[in-house]
Chain A
Amino acid sequence: MTAVLAPNSADDSLAYRPVALVDLLDRVLATGVVISGDITLSIADVDLVRISLRALVASVGALASPENTG
């Protein structure tokens, strides 16, 4: 069983536990402190984050093999 967004271990030279992208996105997109500044982008907006997650689902859906939907 290979996860669709499998952890990418190659980029972590320290033998630290590789992180699954989906777990990471839960944290870096949905939470985290928002320090607003002069041009702080509306990226912090929930709306925009939702849009990108939808796009993400769409792109993953396109990448994932269809027989993997058991």
Chain B
Amino acid sequence: MGSTAEVTMQRPAPVAGAWLHGVVRNIEPVALAMIVGMDGGPVRAVPAAGLIAVVSAAPLNEYGEESLRRNLEDLVWLERAARAHHAVVETLARRGPVVPARLATVHSGDDGVAASLAARRAELVATLDRLTGRGEWGVKGYLVPGAASVNAEAASAGGVGTAYLRRRRAQLTAREEHQQVASAAADAVHAALCDVAVAGRRHAPQDRRLSGAPTPMVLNGAYLVDVTELSRFTDLLGQLGGRHPGVRLELTGPWPAYSFVADRPDPDGAVGESR
């Protein structure tokens, strides 16, 4: 026991984990230094297996499992975290393909991040290839309140009470039919957009209490679109809007390809490659 080369730092419990933003093929350190991460400081690169994970320092008192569970229930915290994470991913996406991480993917340290990259290298590379030159676009469809109440006026025979009931029934039927027409239109719009997109999937319609929309949402679609096909996609969207007056269509994007990096294929085939 002659050696005194005990130089390795005795690391106690790690105090800062690594919040994963996404995985890219390559990025210059200079570019990363200008991207602000979760804690207000710059993000950093964790290189492994020929790929680069972009991470933020995530102090475990805020981002550890216990705290994270609590914080995710807090709307103000959730919004701040979601926007900070998105800002990083979006900046990366503007420079090239990025595999975005789901919100709150926290590792206890860089070693864990590197190990995941190595373990999933093939899959990540394939996803990066698939996303190259493509962007995600969102199309939301809202029911347009239409002639539903007009038909109802016809019912006027009988006493006041009967007339009311008849009118009420007619209104309800009209609303149901209206809903059905809108939902069929949503299916048609989604199918048509999938023909031009590389892939398409439908998210659950948004709760109106969250979206603040005046009418129900019937379509919450996401489409992976080739840059070269973008004008065809938006043209088609315009045509579809004219063809289906029962649904108001709204385009959002470009998004980083959040909706097209699912690690498991959806059991009901929601992530469909359309060609």
Question: Which candidate, B155-163, B240-248, B253-261, is the interface stretch facing chain A?
Answer: B253-261
Closest chain-B Cβ to A13's Cβ sits at a distance in Å of 10
* Residue among A8, A27, A51, A64 having the largest count of chain B Cβ atoms under 10 Å: A27
Cα distance, A11 to B81, chains bound together (Å): 13
- A43: contacting residue among B68, B113, B124, B127, CB under 8 A: B68
- Residues of B near A55 (CB, < 8 A) are 73-75
B210 and A4 contacting across the interface, CB-CB below 8 Å = yes
B210 and A35 contacting across the interface, CB-CB below 8 Å = no
The contact size tier of chain B is: 35 or more
Chain A residues numbered 12-35 whose CB sits less than 8 Å from any CB in chain B: 12, 16-17, 19-35
Type the 1/0 row for B58-100, where 1 means its CB is closer than 8 Å to any CB of A. Answer: 0000001100110011110011001101110010000000011
- B75: contacting residue among A8, A24, A35, A59, CB under 8 A: A59
A37 and B113 contacting across the interface, CB-CB below 8 Å = yes
**Cβ-based interface call for A67 (8 A):** no
B82 and A28 contacting across the interface, CB-CB below 8 Å = yes
- Residues of A near B68 (CB, < 8 A) are 41, 43
Closest chain-B Cβ to A62's Cβ sits at a distance in Å of 10
A33 and B99 contacting across the interface, CB-CB below 8 Å = yes
- Residues of A near B140 (CB, < 8 A) are 23
**Cβ-based interface call for B104 (8 A):** yes
A56 and B100 contacting across the interface, CB-CB below 8 Å = no
A23 and B252 contacting across the interface, CB-CB below 8 Å = yes
Cα distance, A30 to B104, chains bound together (Å): 12
B116 and A52 contacting across the interface, CB-CB below 8 Å = no
Chain B residues numbered 193-218 whose CB sits less than 8 Å from any CB in chain A: 203-204, 206-207, 209-214
**Cβ-based interface call for B108 (8 A):** yes
Taking Cβ atoms with an 8 Å cutoff, the residues of B that contact A are 17, 20, 23, 64-65, 68-69, 72-75, 78-79, 82-83, 85-87, 90, 99-109, 111-113, 115-117, 120, 124, 127, 138, 140, 203-204, 206-207, 209-214, 220, 222, 252, 255, 258-259, 261-263
Ordered by A's residue number, 22 sampled pairs between the chains whose C-beta atoms are within 8 Å are A2-B212, A3-B213, A23-B140, A24-B82, A28-B86, A29-B102, A31-B102, A32-B101, A33-B124, A34-B102, A35-B263, A38-B109, A40-B105, A40-B107, A41-B105, A43-B103, A43-B105, A43-B106, A48-B72, A55-B73, A56-B78, A64-B212
Taking Cβ atoms with an 8 Å cutoff, the residues of A that contact B are 1-6, 8, 11-12, 16-17, 19-44, 48, 51-52, 55-57, 59-61, 64, 68, 70
